[in-house]
Each structure stands twice: as C-alpha cells, then as structure tokens.
Chain A
Amino acid sequence: MSVTPDLVVDPKRAVRAARWAEFKVFTRRFMRNPLGVVGLVIVVLLLFCAAFAPLLATHDPYLPSLTDRLAAPSATYWLGADELGRDIYSRILYGSQLTLLIVGLVIVTSAPIGLIIGAVSGTVGGWVDVVFMRITDVFLAIPKLLLALAFVAALGPGITNAALAITLTAWPPYARLARAEALIVRNSDYVNAVRLAGASEFRIIVFHVIPMCLSSVIVRMTFDMAGIILTAAGLGFIGLGAQPPLPEWGAMISTGRKFIFDQWWVATVPGIAIFTVSLGFNLLGDALRDLLDPHLRQRK
C-alpha cells in the first residue's frame, strides 16, 4: 500500500542520478567521435606507460653498455640502442614520465594564474582591467618559444626551469578566456543577487565567476597540452630542458641528430613518441571542444 516512497525522493540521490544521466549522455556523444576516442586511448596509454614504466621496461634506461652502442632494433633492443648502448624502448617509457611531469607542472601553474588574473580583471573592471590586459597583451605579442628560450637561458637549463619558462608563456590565453567569461557573468542576475546579499568581491570571484570559466578553461587546457609537449621537446632539443642522462624525448632527438644518416632509429623513435602523444592530446581536445564549448553547442 505504499506508493509514497517513490514520490518522496532523497534530493541527494536525485542529483546523483541526474549527474549520472548527464555523464551517460556525454559518454555516448563522445563515443560517436572516433577520432576523439583514438585521442583518449593515446592519452590513457601515455598515463599507463608512465605509471608502469619500471614493469614494462626491458632494460635499465640509464645503464650504458658500450658493446651495444648504436645497436639496430632487434629482439634484445626492440627499438635499438643509443650512442651509449642504452635501450631506446626503455628510455622512451621513462621519458613519458618526464613529459607528463612537465605538462603537469605547466598546467597546474599557468591555468590558475591565468584564471585568477582574468577573473579579477573581468569582475573588478576599471584600471585593474586595463593594466592586467595590457600586460597580457604584451605576453601574447611575443613569440612563445623565443620567450621561453631567453628565460631558460637566464635561469639556467633544467626541467623545472623549462616548465617555469613555458608557464610564463602559457598563462595569457587563460586570462583572456576567463576575462571574457567574467564580463558576461559579472552583471548577470544571480551575481547581482549574491552581491545584494552582501557577498564580497572576493567571494563572488572565487565562488561564482571562476566556476563558470572552468569548462572553457578545461577545453583550452587539453589543446594546450600538445603545444606544451612540443615546446618542452623543442627546449630539450636545444639543450635547455632536461639534462643528460635524463631520457627526455627532445634531448634524445638532439643526441640522435649526429647519427641520423647511419643510425636513423636513435632520433626517429623519440620523435614518433612526441608526435603520437601530442596528436593524442590534439584529438582529445578537438572532441572535448565539440562537446563542451557552449558557443559551439548553441550553434548546433
């Protein structure tokens, strides 16, 4: 005789159910984009390689073996050996950790910096906005790789400095993005309501403006990963990124450069790794943008 339990629904459960339904719709739409799925697979594979590098590797990535210098790909050295006889396959695996480390460092620093500057700039307005946006424009107007290069040249080479330098060039787009969103949100009814209720500007920015910027920032982040990987590899190639004997992919190409004509695998294999990973992030970013970007969604 009890019909009521079905009608009185626990609100928390309802929210959870709604989230779950939304997630299912999202997954179904994502699965319809085969290229996006390929991208996701590549990215998951990268995470897998990085996490289980010690298990998957067949050799010690740092242990030289002078008798096997520049050995061609074979049953022992699946992708050949480098100029010190180190196994390239194992070095690529360990290199994925470094790639993730740099990308992670850059993303966790540049996105929040850009987000805060943009949100403050858009919400507060006035001269704060003018000054912040001028600074952003200056950074946007300078070629990224060159700025990063000069920055590392001054700080000294190394993985953290390279990440710092890339951060320095990577935050401005986030600031622009967050500002644009903040300008829309700033005068919306719900923000005015919160303001009338006595919330401080700080509270408004942190709890009401920044969350609204997040989805476009996440899409942008996925796209940026590919760019960050390429810039980091470029710095590594020039010799300003990770230092030997670290198996950073860009640096590996740089050492393989001397043997490109006779032992082509030394430089070619790390390049394929960089290419695959940044292609993966690009494909994933493309798919996520189609799904999440509110502007594109409206048009359809």
Chain B
Amino acid sequence: MSASKPLRLFIDIGSWLITVAITLVGLAALTFFIGRVLPIDPVLSIVGEKATPEVYQKVYLELGLDKPIWQQFIEYLGKLLRGDFGTSFSTSRPVLTDLLNFFPATLELSTIGLIIGVVLGVPMGVASAYWHEKWPDHLLRVVGLVGYSVPVFWLGLVGLFVFYYLLGWVSGPGQLDVFFVGVVDRITGSILIDSAIAGEWEIFFNAISHMILPALLLGYYSLAYISRMTRSVMLDQLSREYVLTARLKGASEFRAVAGHALRNAAIPLVTVIALSYGGLLEGSVLIETIFSWPGIGNYIYSSLFAADMNAVLGGTLLVGMVFILLNMLSDVLYRALDPRSREFAK
C-alpha cells in the first residue's frame, strides 16, 4: 500500500532473483560436495589406482586440493560461472560442449512427451472432475495409479518387445535408422526440425517412428500427474457459484465447463505443467538408456560406466538448473496470470 507500484515490482523481482541465485548456489554446493568431498580421494577417482606419483601430484594441484575447502568452493563457483564444467575424461571434450550437443535431443523428446501429456491429461482430468465418482473418474484413478506404480524403464522394455518386436508398428532403439544417421545437417539439434528444414521427409517420418514410443511413455508418465492435478483443480472450480450462475443464465454445459470453469482452472494448471516438464527431463534419463536416445540421460549413463565424474556432475548440474529455472518460472507465470495475486501481491 505504501510503496509506489514500480518500486514494489522492483523489490519483488529483486527478491525473486535472490531466491533463484541462492537455490542455484545450493545446487552447485551439492555437486561440489558430491564431487570433491564425498570420494575418499578425489584424485584417485580421476586418475585411477595405477597412476604414477607425478600424475597424482599434478592432478592434486590442478584440483586445488591443497587450498582450504571454502576457497576451493569459491573457485568452483567461478569456473561454473565462466561455463567451465571441467573436461570429460571419456570424450576428452569440455563437459559443457558435450552437454550442449546432447541437450537438444532430450529437449525434443521431453517436449513431445509433454505435449502428449497435456493433450491427453487435461481433458481426462476435466472429464473425471465432471463425472466425479462415476466411471470416467474411476478409470482415471486406475490410469493414474498405474502410472505412479510402474517402473518406467521396464514399461519401455515391454513396449519395445510388444510394439517393435511382436507387432512391428514402431522402429527400434535409436533416433534414426542406421543408414539415415548423419544425412541431415545439424542445425538446431532437433532431428524433426532439422529434417523438415532440409526437406527430407522420409527421414522426418523415420524419426517420428523412432520417437513415438519413448515419447508416449514419457507422456504417460506426465499424464498421471497432470490429469490428477487437473481433476482436483476442476473439482474445486466446478463447485463455485459462478459456474452455477453461468448455468442459470442458460449457458450450455460445454460452455459452463470449458468456457468458465476450465478458464479459471488454467492458471494453476500452468504451474502444474511447468513442474511436470521438469519431471520429464528427469524421467528421460531412464527412458533414454532403454531407447539408446542420444540425449543427456544417455550421456550421464555412459559416463557413469567410464567413471567420468565431471560428466556425471555436469549433467546433474545442467538438468538441476533447468529444473530450478522451470520451478521459478512457473512461480512467475502464476503471478503474472492470476489477476488476484497481481493486485494483492504483498
């Protein structure tokens, strides 16, 4: 009430940025802890047990292990800020380069998964709220519970067995058939967009047939969450008096539900969808290993076996950062979209 509007906004943005910064530093502190403090000897975990004393000494100094721990952490933060995630020992490229190479494929897969989840999940949630305690609601409950209970990597394997091996409806693991790999120039890193730009429609459809199964699985994964949240938000909205008013004024059922209730439910749903996007990035780690999808998840997985901690932690850091930013973004979106929180923001 007292401060002027622009000042209020300025303070809001400022405190929001500080929250984001603290959370990101916290994330960095965790990866620092895991990489430097947790291993009994971080040098040995890099050079291996057969290293000569000279190599050992060199890496020891390179890591800055002779310095106090807080100074090491400050230096670590500084490196991260400059985009230096260390070097991957298995690919001997900078980890950040690797990550940026693999990230588009993950982003592509999880975006399509999210679209599937939203397109199916929101109507399902609305239907089960509308027919509360009737069969669509029970059906959704079962679908959701199965989604929460099934190991996603196992479902991927069974899916491959049934739809690729037995039925032959989809293509197998990988992003493309072998003879298509490397045909299209890499522009965006998304195989669908790149092949469309090049006009190679055969490759485009081949990519879709490879992508459809993992994307559907990821979509199912997010559908369970999205439909459940849609249901609870819609249940709340449908019992409000404005819906009754709309009906009394002669609005059709569809208009009352989709035009009035769903519009008001949309605001919290944006938050839900942003959050489930973050969940998909994580879910793609296991899915990618099953489908040999050349994304971040597969990169982390193969780095694990090469004992390549820089790559593992870099991948964790990147996914964690995206996850945190999505969280924060959903917070901002909520405030921007909801007129009440805009006016009464404290």
Contacts and interface: CB of A to CB of B under 8 A. Distances in A.
Nearest to A230: B151
B285 A149 contact: yes
B11 to A, nearest CB: 18
Interface stretch (B76-84, B108-116, B117-125, B312-320): B312-320
B47 to A, nearest CB: 16
B300 A149 contact: yes
Contacts of A250: 151
B145 A282 contact: yes
Interface stretch (B21-29, B51-59, B252-260): B21-29
A15 interface: no
A171 to B, nearest CB: 14
Contact of A138 (B30, B278, B279): B30
A271 B26 contact: no
5 contacts: A145-B286, A149-B316, A153-B309, A153-B312, A257-B290
Given A142-B30, A147-B316, A253 B282 contact: no
Given A150-B313, A151-B34, A142 B27 contact: yes
Contacts of B279: 143
A53 B29 CA distance: 44
Given A233-B151, A275-B150, A279-B149, A141 B34 contact: no
Contacts, number: 134
Contact of A260 (B27, B38, B161): B161
Interface string A276-300: 0011001100100000000000000
Contact of A282 (B148, B154, B289, B309): B148
A203 interface: no
B151 A253 contact: yes
A40 to B, nearest CB: 15
Contacts of A146: 282, 285, 300, 315-316, 319-320
Contact residues of B: prevailing secondary structure:
helix
B301 to A, nearest CB: 7
B129 to A, nearest CB: 16
Contact residues of A: prevailing secondary structure:
helix
A207 interface: no
B30 to A, nearest CB: 7
Interface of A: 134-135, 137-139, 141-147, 149-151, 153-155, 226, 230, 233-234, 237-240, 250, 253, 257, 260-261, 264, 267-268, 270-271, 274-275, 278-279, 282-283, 286
A257 B148 contact: no
Contacts of A264: 161
A153 B323 CA distance: 21
Interface string B318-346: 01100110010000000000000000000
Nearest to A39: B145
A138 B304 contact: no
Contacts of B150: 275, 278
B316 A253 contact: no
Given A234-B153, A279-B149, A141 B27 contact: yes
Nearest to B281: A143
B281 A134 contact: no
Contacts of B148: 226, 278, 282
B157 A267 contact: yes
Which of A138, A226, A240, A283 gathers the greatest number of chain B CB atoms within 10 Å? Answer: A138
